[in-house]
Structure 1
Amino acid sequence: MEITGETDLFYIVGTPVRHFRAPILFNDYFASCGHNFCCTGLNVQPADLADALSLVRRIENIRGLCITAPHKIAAASMVDLHTREATQAGSVNFVRRETDGTLTGHNLDGLGFLRGLKGSGFDPVGKRVLLLGAGGVGRAIAFSLAAEGVTRLLLANRDTAKAHTLAAEVARATGIKAMATGTGALPDLSDFDLIVNATSVGMGGGGDMPMDLTGVSASATVADVVIGAQDTPLIAAAKRAGCSTMVGSSMLKPQIELSETFLYGTAKG
């Protein structure tokens, strides 16, 4: 990769960012698409996010941003335009700088998860799903799974009110049967074809589990959005139970591919 004055700059904005290997994936993929493009990390503290986005508005050779923890929800209130996916998720994980300096926010968590899931051999059409987490990632995944045609979606969250709110929004938008519960009142896991952890539990290698997999069917698929060098405790437990699994990194490559269309293609705010 040769960086010149004509190179489009792209930053992964979060904190901490030193451990990120995603810039390598972005740079390799965008180079393969023929773009003069350079991605690197930008370590931004929460108190400085608004200033960072204000600076991006004024720098013409910044193509866009990937927004990661802990900024996805805050960034949604700081951009100028939103795609439908960003509005539904209530969070932003990609930002495109328009030629006039305005910022369009997008969310590819749901679409990336869906592509990763299908790439892992699971077709969600007609399936019964238990989804843990009603934050930005959980919201994005819930809408994508519902739109894809799951027959039953149970949303579980520590804040039960948030789960009920999301279930009502998903049902209203897609017409599927979406229900809600607290994480302490989960039903028999054998009733589900797909179990998804869309919380941060399991991040950092501490051994924490977002839920007990007792009773899960060996024919079920268990997916975790947490990305780590090794299997998360949930994925390790699922493998021991004989389940098929999808690791968090499986939703990263599809998002990189989809972001190329958003940044250089026809996706509109």
Structure 2
Amino acid sequence: MRTVTMLGTAMMLAACGGAPEQPAATSANAQGQAPVPPTPPSPPAAAAKASKTTIKNDSYSFDYTYPAKAAAIAPLARWLDGQREEMKVELDKDTAEFRAEAKAGDFPFRAYESTVAWKVVTDTPRLLSLSAETWAYTGGAHGSPGYDAVVWDKAAGERLKPTDLFTSTDAIQTAIGTAFCAEIDKQREERRGEPVVRADDSFNACPKVDEATLILGSTDRQMIDRVGLLVGPYVAGPYAEGVFEVTLPVTPALLSAVKPAYRDLFRAR
């Protein structure tokens, strides 16, 4: 039926002054062969989706998540998946040991809790900066919050710690240590209702930059122009004071502490 229609169309065009050029498929029809259908376009690649794993059993509850932008980078996603699996194996081992201890010591077993929630800090043309809020409870009086951070270098295809982009943690300390300490003191004073009296104990001393988790941020998602310092319990104050989060601009002094290979990815403010 298709052949008759095409031939009829050709005769009509010939009567108007010219026959159409015959495509290869039509020539094949004339020879009694089936037409060659056009190749359908390739379907678009499926967009990466955020990853969420939740496990709850008699021994522990475990939640591990990371965002779609991390899932879209295969090597980074494999590393995150590997971290998740390592944590699960450790939970299985540790809770089994704790359950045996509880039975032998005739005290109640308390289920563990573990949470890791990765999120995007910033996504610049070269760097994907991620931070994680963590929570761990291992049967004691209370759980413990914490932090983690990682940077993916898209050009190099390499996973880095934020501090790897700097010449040393000592250089970071020299560049922003005073401003970091001043902001910690400000937050401690607000929580305590009185000025901080400097002392050697950890609750009143000036914390070091390497006691915090460093994260890289950006105000325009083009250049790294600010950094965050995330401080867990007991580093700058008692457990009841919670965690401390400090954001500081990239200063010329901090810019000078960046390794030359990465310096053009930063901008001082």
Q: Same fold (TM over 0.5)?
A: no
Structure with the larger RCO, 1 or 2 (CA within 8 Å, 6+ apart): 1
TM-score normalised by length of structure 1:
0.30
Q: Which has the larger radius of gyration?
A: 2
